[in-house]
Structure 1
Amino acid sequence: MVTEERLASWTGPSSDAEQLKQDLTERMIREAIAAHAAFDGVNLSIYAKGSYANNTNVKFDSDVDIVVECREVEYWEDYDPSAGGHPAGSPYEGPWTPDRFRAEVKAALVNKFPNGSVTSGTTAFEVEATSSRVNADVVPCFTYRMYFANGSYQEGTKLFKTTGGSIVNYPKLQLERGRAKNTRTNGAYKKTVRILKRLENVLVDAGLSDEVPSYLMECLIYNCPDEYFTRATWRGTMQGCLADIYNYTNRSEPADEAERWLEANGAKFLFHGSQKWTREQVHAFANAAWDYMEFG
């Protein structure tokens, strides 16, 4: 049985040494973009996203994700095209196409991290770790807004894949809503996310589960009721969360949108046809975690 003491030891973030490496990695990427002449005078927003930014990373899962957002261009959609919501404006005719922006971000990184340290994926550039820094994914993207009929909007990013197509994310909303849930639960939300991530590491190492994406685990805990995080023990918290995850993924997606689980940004449905994960994958993981915890 996984004891209360062991669970408590799993609540902490990555080590101070790892934190120093993460901070150095972020700083070096910021320096690379700032030093690149092609970006002089360009409206860019550079910020961390994901587990590092949200303080839910754990040892051995301590990569850094850095967004390089071009705010010279706004991509947008209307939530209800028939109702409108986006204010009238002229199409963008400037130089910052997705291909050019991606090429300049790559050039900036290669100048800072030479000798093959930078490799290109379909969405992000990976900067290889050294003894003093961690692996980093650098994501070139553009400002994106989803407009509602009343003219309000939720802001995210739009990134373009080298293989075609695009992806909309909401990293700032993830940060804001994660902080709000953590405040409501007196800090227990993020501690529970770290417990689940460390539990997943144990299960994978033991051959009891396939790997589960770090972001997905944060999303699963995000959907668990706040009341679970006020229970007297970590075992009690985990029992409630794993039961909810198991039960939710043991049935089909609810027809009522209000009952569907969301990503940790609160803006996108957690399960749908184009996600990188499936309900069956999550259900199998929850089952393995429940058994390993010996909840009976």
Structure 2
Amino acid sequence: MSRNWDQTLKDWAETIDATDEERGSRAREAIKEAIRSASNLKHKKIDVAVTGSYRNNTNTRADSDIDVAVVLHDVAFYAFPADGSVTQEMLGLQGSSYAFDSFRNDVEAALRAHFGASNVAAGNKALDVRASGARLDADVAVFLKHRRYTGKKTAAGEWEYFDGVELRPRNAPALRVINWPDQHYKRGVAKNEATNRRFKRVVRIFKHLRADMAAQGDLEQKSAAGQVSSFVLECLVHNVPDTCFNLEDGGYMKDTKAVLSWLLRATQPGADSSALTEVSGMQPLFHGPARRTPEQAYAFLKAAWRRVRGAELLPR
């Protein structure tokens, strides 16, 4: 029996229920308590916050774990303009003997002490805290503050900078993984308001579509679904003009088709995809260290089109 795609897209657009939200909240509070209980951490300035799809309200039931960031404010990583207009020496910034590795090790020890060593697994970028009862699994990423100087001055005469967070993977300590969670959140909210709340609904549709392709698609769809992350899907949809949303009352097929069409054109071979950015607007979506490519995005979008639109010709 053929699928009723209109109803499927309506179902996929909805947010998860309150129970999962509550379980996510419990995970965050439990991790906060673990940090507060550690004697060598409780006097440091540390934020523990939900990040990713749970914070941004783009999560689906397939997002079985919650992303939690543990951020140290006492020490920071910096990025300065390539032209040397601002330097660490000019600002009088001093190094610290308590560096990123020390903080990550202390957080890991605190989590193991609180949840039990067998319930915490260390990955290259995050610590996996396994679920217990009413608490969701949590991927706990440990960060220092990141400060990017622009080389300009503010109206008050201070050097302008943007705040983000940064970590270094265990298996590649020279690699700088820089995230901009506050900018991501604010721009996502603004996009959602500008599209009559359609932006986040379409993001959920794309995430469900990827999971559907991975589970039930043909070989092309299964392969394409494995090439893009939930984060990339959210960023792709954010780049789509507002005019591609809110095209029909009570349904999402026209929106989904319009968003797929725009993105297929933006990522097709020969297209200039350099203007596509992360939701935060702080860096290009397809940039070196992240190893994301427009080719991967196009392969997913093409397979997704065929999943939803069947034999209908791809947009040109």
TM-score band w.r.t. shorter chain: over 0.9
SS of equivalent residue, structure 1 residue 274: helix
Runs of 5+ in structure 2 lacking a partner? 153-158
Which of residues 25, 42, 45 is equivalent to 1:43? 45
State the shift of 1:176 in Å: 1.2
Tell me if structure 2 keeps the 8 A contact 1:68–1:141: yes
Q: Choose from 204, 219, 237 the match for 2:214.
A: 204
Match of 2:151, SS? coil
Partner of 2:230: 214
Percent same amino acid among aligned pairs? 28
Gaps of 5+ in 1: none
1:244 and 2:266 matched: no
Structure 1 Cα separation of the partners of residues 87 and 189 of structure 2 = 29
Aligned to 1:158: 166
Residue matched to 2:16: 14
Return the alpha-carbon distance in structure 2 between the equivalents of residues 107 and 115 of structure 1.
9
Q: State the distance in 1 between where 2:308 and 2:111 align.
A: 44
Deviations 1:233-264 (CA, angstroms, capped at 9, x unpaired): 41111111111221222134638x6xx10011
Deviations 1:39-88 (A, max 9, x none): 12211122111101101000121321111111111221123434338793
CA 93–279 in structure 1, closer or farther in 2 if over 3 Å, else same: closer
CA RMSD after TM alignment: 2.0
Q: CA deviation at 1:94?
A: 3.5
Output the CA distance in 1 between the equivalents of 2:290 and 2:138: 22
Per the alignment, residue 291 of structure 1 pairs with 306
- Give the partner amino acid of 2:233: M
| TM-score, normalising length: structure 2 | 0.87
Equivalent position to 1:228, from 225, 236, 244? 244
- Cα distance in 2 for residues equivalent to 1:161 and 1:36: 23
Separation in 2, partners of 1:103, 1:29: 15
**Which stretch of the first structure deviates more once superposed, 129-138 or 69-78?**
129-138
TM-score (norm 1): 0.92
Contact 2:285 2:292 in 1 (8 A): no
Deviations 1:168-226 (A, max 9, x none): 11111111111111111121111110111111111111132332311111111111111
Question: What does the per-residue CA deviation read over 1:105-154, in whole Å, with 9 as the maximum and x for residues that have no partner?
Answer: 00110111104110111121111123422221111111111111213222
Distance of aligned partners of 1:179 and 1:279 in 2 relative to their CA distance in 1, 3 Å threshold: same
Deviations 1:20-55 (A, max 9, x none): 221111111111111111112211122111101101
